[in-house]
Amino acid sequence: MRVLVTGAFGNVGLSALTELLKQGHQVRCFDLKTRANERAGRRFGRALEVVWGDLRRPADVGRAVAGQEAVIHLAFIIPKLSATGIESEAQPDWAAAINVGGTRNLVEAMQAQPQPPKLIFSSSLHVYGLTQEQPPPRTSSDPVQPLEHYARHKVECEEMIKASGLTWSIFRFAAVLPIAMKLDPGMFDVPLDNRIEFVHTRDVGLALANGLSCPEVWGKTLLIGGGPQCQLYYRDMASQILDGMGVGMLPGRAFGAQPFATDWLDTTESQRLLDYQRRTLSDYLHDMAALLGFRRRMIRLFRPGVRRWLLGRSPYFAASRAIGSAGQRGPRKVALVTGASSGIGAATARRLATEGYAVALVARREERLHALAGEIRAAGGEASVIAADLSDEAAGQQVFDKVRAAYGAIDVLVNSAGFGWYGYGAEMPWPLARQMVEVNALAAMRLTLLFLSDMLARGRGHIVNISSIAGNLPNQGIALYSATKSFLDNFTTSLYRELAGTGVHVSIVKPGPVATEFWDAPTQVPGLRIPGERLAAVRPEAVAQRIGALLRRPRRVIYVPRWLGFVPWVEPALSWLLDRLGPLLLRRQVKTAR
């Protein structure tokens, strides 16, 4: 087939040329005559025809379209990383003359042909606007709500093409990064918790080439993305790319907080028709590293200087430093962490602070909270202290009121407060038993319900309840503790199912033994220790790391360590062993303590 490719020597264009030639098409390229484009064209030798010209000149476009059977229209001025060096948002009128005016010239030239060629138009997921508060994925039937000039140009061109009478197909692309990645300041505009879908430029080239031979694509708008394996949060994508370049992930405050027009896409139909999803972000990182070659070693050698240079290009990092020096609070997300004076709570607070959250710390031991808050502030973070005894029924409402007064609303609630006790249930003092139910179960329930209404009204938020594998393994010596965790498991699971599609997430974290002072609390029976409580204990920092990942990719439940996920499956089969072994271990511990 005789195929014209506009913008042929850009990122996607080069990938499309490679695949079109591989499939045996006769390819004509249309692009501006620049040194970079001439150099790119020479790579293909005589395998393709080149027509140099300008989309704004109808005569140039007419020469390019003449005699073609299909046109792949890629030429467009984009917001960032434009090959022209000029961004669509910086000079919107100039960009519109190329984007909209150039597309109009192309459509008219195609209509003037004796046999008008078919047209594949490259659009973008940017046409959907801000969708982070909507449940993903985006579909081709979703309404368009373009925000920037670039997206409005795309929508105008889509409507023009649909009304043209030509045979057309519109491909809306996910994030297509050039392998020769440029560290543009625009990289800092995307919030780290923004959903984003990556698609490899070579997979896009394959989709375009395959589209020419697929009769079902015509008259359709298709979403072109990498598929579920390429659906990421920007934090994960940015950190992997920066690590792959040798720079390393940059501080969270270097990135913006305003939602960005990216999201995950439903590519089921496009993959069925075009069979193009072959690569993931790992393949991109491999290609990028190969292209960097020795320069990657140089970046690592001068890494501190490179990082300072990059941070100097982030307007958000400079602003955060200015705000910090002025003692003001920046536009950060807010996380409330209970049980923050030690263990999992303290580790989680530290972790979230390093990821850019303003952290509200809640616990009984006020002096410890102030020490942790000072540590977070010294590292450039933001923290506030709310001393509260959550065994007091009124404390939950007091915490809620103080947080609303200080922050207005929160984005994340981590219910980590709790304590344990080991011994015969019949010997557990009633005041202590009541306190355990209040702290481990009822306090978490109160705070969850209090903050849940606010989150639902805003259409976003995440509540994380720290449970325990003991909720699945009711065992000797921890009868009431296991019961409180089982309650928390079921409460959280029910809410998770109720909240599907609301934008608000509720999750349960189920660690095994954790190396904290949890079981050394003053309420513990002197000298009585849990059999195997230190066995395979994980560090609280490991739990905090998994919580950070959970906030980026929400799910109902996570186990720490991961292998504990087998417990719910095997516990019914091995309960007989616990029935026999448990009482023996408990009697031995009680005898030793006494």
User: Which residues are annotated as catalytic?
Assistant: 481
Of the candidates 51, 46, 59, 65, the one whose C-alpha atom is nearest the C-alpha of residue 8 is 51
Of the candidates 201, 247, 285, the one whose C-alpha atom is nearest the C-alpha of residue 18 is 201
Bridge partners of residue 28, in order along the sequence = 4, 49
Q: Tell me the backbone φ, ψ of residue 530, rounded to 5 degrees.
A: -80, 135
Residues 492 and 467 sit within 8 Å (Cβ to Cβ): yes
Residues 135 and 501 sit within 8 Å (Cβ to Cβ): yes
Read off the tokens for 227.
Answer: 């598929």
**Angle formed at CA 445 by CA 441 and CA 450, multiple of 5 degrees:** 155
Residues 173 and 201 sit within 8 Å (Cβ to Cβ): no
d(CA 104, CA 117) in angstroms, rounded, equals: 15
Read off the tokens for 402.
Answer: 């103080």
- Pairing mode, strands 195-197 and 231-233: antiparallel
For 374-455, where are the E strands, in sequence order? 382-387, 412-415
Which distant-in-sequence residues (6+ apart) come within 8 Å of 256 by Cβ?
Answer: 188, 189, 190, 191, 316
Alpha-carbon distance values, 381 to 148, 400, 411, 541, 547 (Å): 32, 22, 16, 18, 18
Which distant-in-sequence residues (6+ apart) come within 8 Å of 341 by Cβ?
Answer: 361, 363, 364, 365, 368, 369, 372
Query: What amino acid is encoded at 296 in this protein?
Result: R
Bridge partners of residue 223, in order along the sequence = 172
The DSSP-derived string for 446-511 is HHHHHHHHHHHHHT-EEEEEE--GGGT---TT-HHHHHHHHHHHHHHHHHHHHTTTSSEEEEEEEE
Residues 118 and 70 sit within 8 Å (Cβ to Cβ): yes
